[in-house]
């Protein structure tokens, strides 16, 4: 059984009378110890998907339907009490600016102790400190960070603290949403290798949200390519990012220097994302796709299986319809 399975998940923002269809018909499976990269350009719905899975979107802001099965249990059917038992302990998340949630007037160590005591109120002071120091070591932070205030940390140290915090209750699934995006290349590279190391040490499963395909290719085994709220292609990195079958994946890869070699080969994808408040009749990528036909503009392509766990939503792809 998959650790996490999404079945026909839809997330619709409510903005006054307007509806923004930010995630449409998302289906995916994450198996234990997978590292799945969710990639796509800005506005494609990656963060919305992560927040929906974690049930961090209030029903006032968005409607969510479909199924989010964690170990077979539907996350969307749990009440707040049941959810709070699973968050942090089973699934935890690191955002680009997770540290903003910490108070600027209290030391980092004391705040982490407080978080630990939410689930383990009777834990002794030495036990908690040891747990935090062990985590600091895993994310390459010195013990002195315990006594520092958040404003005394560099961007890289902040993200390391955020990652340490997310690991406080030894979760099974770690969601990283653009967690290293704002960092310089060197620090980003260091933190990514620390993440991979801790993933194998702690037998973690990882969902990695990023707009950077090279981060996915270097740190993930599977990838989901999103565009305008829909999943375009998904499968093993060694298939999807090496022999992409979807025209959007092909365009996305051409926009990255590491995939095309010479800088002169770099090409963006002309055009921009469609208006997500209008449900398209055909393929969401049709207006920008160099291969679009009349069929593409009038009929939504179904997800087809084209190889081992490899799926493509394009009329041109040859494979079996997922039904
Ligand atoms: P980025 O990398 O820029 O964060 P993303 O792929 O994570 O992009 P989302 O942030 O999930 O994309 O946004 C998906 C769509 O949902 C966008 O069209 C965005 O404008 C819209 N959206 C996001 N948050 C809200 C909200 N609170 N209310 C209404 N629409 C929203
Ligand atoms: Fe392009 Fe048509 Fe495939 Fe959409 S379905 S990606 S428009 S070829």
pTM summary value: 0.93
Q: What is the reported pLDDT for 286?
A: 96
Please state the atom number of ligand 2 nearest to the C-alpha of residue 295: 2
Q: What is the reported pLDDT for 1?
A: 83
Residue nearest to atom 19 of ligand 1 (CA): 43
CA distance 283 to 294: 10
**Residue range 192-206: average pLDDT?**
91
* Cα-to-centroid distance, 12 and ligand 2 (Å): 24
* Ligand located closest to 62 CA: 1
Beta strands in 138-177 (DSSP E): 173-177
Q: What is the reported pLDDT for 323?
A: 60
Please state the atom number of ligand 1 nearest to the C-alpha of residue 276: 18
Contacts of 111 (CB under 8 A, 6+ apart): 102, 103
* Ligand located closest to 313 CA: 2
Report which of 163, 177, 166, 160 is spatially closest to residue 37, judged by C-alpha positions: 177
Pocket of ligand 2 contains residue 291 by CB under 6 Å = yes
* Cα-to-centroid distance, 297 and ligand 2 (Å): 8
2-6, 43-47, 269-273: least confidently modelled range: 269-273
Residue 148 pLDDT grade (very low, low, confident, very high; cuts 50, 70, 90): very high
Q: What is the reported pLDDT for 23?
A: 97
Is 87 or 257 the better-scoring residue by pLDDT? 87
b/e 63-90 (16+ beta carbons within 10 angstroms → b): ebebebbbeeeebeebeeeeeeebebeb
* Cα-to-centroid distance, 182 and ligand 1 (Å): 18
Q: What is the reported pLDDT for 246?
A: 97
* Ligand located closest to 276 CA: 1
Residue 18 CA, chain-centre distance (Å), reads 26
Query: Within a 10 A sphere around the Cβ of 303, how many other Cβ atoms?
Result: 22
Grouping H, G, I as helix, E, B as strand and the rest as coil, residue 130 is helix
**Residue range 208-230: average pLDDT?**
95
Chain segment 108-117, per-residue pLDDT in tens: 999 999 999 9
Q: What is the four-CA torsion angle of 242, 245, 250, 256, rounded to 10 degrees?
A: -20
Phi/psi for 32 (5° steps) reads -55, 135
Residue nearest to atom 29 of ligand 1 (CA): 13
Residue nearest to atom 3 of ligand 2 (CA): 314
Q: What is the reported pLDDT for 181?
A: 83
Residue 272 pLDDT grade (very low, low, confident, very high; cuts 50, 70, 90): confident
* Cα-to-centroid distance, 317 and ligand 2 (Å): 9
Chain segment 51-101, per-residue pLDDT in tens: 999 999 999 999 999 999 999 999 999 998 888 888 888 999 998 877 777
| The token pair that represents 277 in the structure block | 């408040």
Q: What is the mean pLDDT of the chain?
A: 91
Q: What is the largest CA-CA distance in the chain?
A: 68
Q: What is the reported pLDDT for 59?
A: 93
CA distance 9 to 195: 28
* Residue 28 clears pLDDT 70, i.e. is over it: yes
* Residue 252 clears pLDDT 90, i.e. is over it: yes
Residue 263 pLDDT grade (very low, low, confident, very high; cuts 50, 70, 90): low
Chain segment 273-313, per-residue pLDDT in tens: 899 999 889 999 999 999 999 999 999 999 999 999 999 99
Share of the chain above pLDDT 90, in %: 70
Residue 120 pLDDT grade (very low, low, confident, very high; cuts 50, 70, 90): confident
């Amino acid at each position: 059984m998959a650790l996490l399975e999404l079945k026909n998940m839809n997330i619709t923002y409510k903005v006054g009378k307007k509806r923004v269809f930010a995630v449409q018909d998302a289906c995916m499976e994450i198996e234990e110890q997978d590292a799945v990269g969710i990639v796509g350009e800005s506005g494609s719905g990656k963060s919305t998907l992560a927040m929906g899975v974690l049930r961090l979107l209030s029903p006032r802001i968005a409607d969510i339907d479909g199924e989010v099965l964690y170990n077979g249990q539907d996350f969307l059917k749990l009440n707040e009490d049941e959810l709070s038992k699973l968050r942090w302990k089973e699934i935890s998340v690191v955002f680009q600016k997770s540290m903003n949630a910490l108070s600027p007037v209290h030391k980092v160590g004391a705040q982490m102790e407080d978080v630990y005591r939410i689930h383990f109120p009777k834990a002794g002071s030495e036990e908690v400190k040891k747990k935090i120091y062990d985590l600091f070591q895993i994310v390459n932070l010195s013990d002195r960070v315990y006594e520092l205030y958040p404003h005394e940390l560099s961007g890289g140290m902040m993200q390391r603290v955020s990652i340490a915090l997310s690991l406080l209750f030894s979760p099974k699934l770690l969601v990283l949403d653009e967690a290293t995006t704002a960092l310089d290349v060197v620090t980003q590279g260091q933190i990514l290798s620390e993440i991979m190391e801790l993933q194998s040490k702690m037998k973690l499963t990882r969902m990695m949200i990023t707009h950077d395909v090279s981060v996915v290719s270097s740190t993930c085994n599977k990838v989901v390519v999103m565009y305008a709220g829909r999943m375009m292609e998904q499968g093993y990195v060694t298939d999807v990012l090496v022999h992409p079958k979807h025209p959007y994946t092909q365009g996305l890869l051409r926009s990255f220097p590491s995939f095309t070699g010479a800088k002169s080969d770099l090409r963006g994808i002309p055009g921009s994302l469609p208006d997500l408040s209008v449900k398209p009749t055909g393929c969401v990528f049709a207006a920008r796709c160099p291969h679009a036909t009349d069929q593409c503009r009038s009929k939504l392509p179904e997800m087809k299986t084209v190889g081992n766990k490899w799926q493509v939503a394009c009329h041109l792809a040859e494979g079996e319809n997922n039904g």
